[in-house]
Amino acid sequence: MKEISHHRPQAGLPRRRLCLAVDMEQYSRLDTRTQSAVQSELVRMLDEAAALTGLDRAAWTRQPQGDLEFAVLPEATPEDAVLGPFVHHLAVRLGDRNARPATQRVRLRMAVDTGVVADAALGHAGPAPVAVARYVNAPQLRAVLATLTAADLAVMVSDRLYQDVVRSGRRDLDPSQYVRAHVRVKEFGGYGWIRVPGHVPDDVRSAVAEAPGPEPSPDAEAPSWTPPSQYVHQGAAVGRDVVGGLTIGVPVPPPTAGSGPAR
């Protein structure tokens, strides 16, 4: 009788995973001592938010980058738990911290997407890591924090997550609290959805409308995605763009290949 072999997946093979990036606003304006302190506090707040949500941060594949953390979460991670309770607990922890007297305020941008991810020599490769890197630097997300000065946290999720998870009636997720934003950065064009805990959608919508952005190219009528030929090193997206040019730089919103943003 022929024996059936069960092959384990090879390391580095693409898997569908949840990717997340959290970045600090105006970090470069801080002095060295304060930068070190807020880095530690960011890690602590992420740890606490994950623990309160029932997520195991020890199982996250993390790429710390000073003022930013990019992470690939385990395959079994419930996406609604990240978009709902985790975001809630992080917003509460951040608000409590910023309410302390004589404390340097910390404000965060967060981006989440799900998609193909593979281990690579310089980090991770695949559409989701690059998408998250671009989303977390989307001009609309920056504009929201610039306009809503009382906000401590602004979150952008990919259209894929919004359609598949947020709109599915999951617990702790209200689709009406999200505002759609068309993100176009160089070769990428796509949609993301922004939520700002503690702020009504109309305020977010007004802030998004004021965000600067490049005009769509004349021959690009619909959102497009970059071919998966990029990777991320130290938060910078590196790879070939649509016309074959080499691109190295800070990721900004959408699905393509590579991960984590940089300054």
Give the Cα separation of 94 and 30 in Å (integer): 18
Give the Cα separation of 24 and 39 in Å (integer): 9
Q: 203 forms bridges with which residues in the sheet? A: none
Give the Cα separation of 254 and 132 in Å (integer): 6
The CA-based angle 115-119-23, given to 5 degrees, is 65
Q: Is residue 161 predicted with pLDDT exceeding 90?
A: yes
Give the Cα separation of 185 and 164 in Å (integer): 24
Mean pLDDT value across residues 44-59: 96
Give the Cα separation of 116 and 14 in Å (integer): 6
Q: Which one-letter DSSP state was computed for residue 75?
A: T
Higher pLDDT, 62 or 130: 62
Mean pLDDT of the chain: 79
Q: Is residue 247 predicted with pLDDT exceeding 60?
A: no
Positive or negative torsion for Cα 158, 159, 162, 168? negative
Give CA separation, 36 vs 19, 25, 30, 40, in Å.
25, 15, 9, 7
**pTM across the whole model:** 0.76
pLDDT of residue 15: 79
Q: Is residue 163 predicted with pLDDT exceeding 50?
A: yes
Would you state the torsion angle of the CA atoms of residues 181, 87, 75, 258, taken in this order, to the nearest 10 degrees? 50
pLDDT of residue 104: 87
Cα 210 to the center of its chain, rounded Å: 21
Show the tokens assigned to 232: 């991320």
pLDDT of residue 231: 42
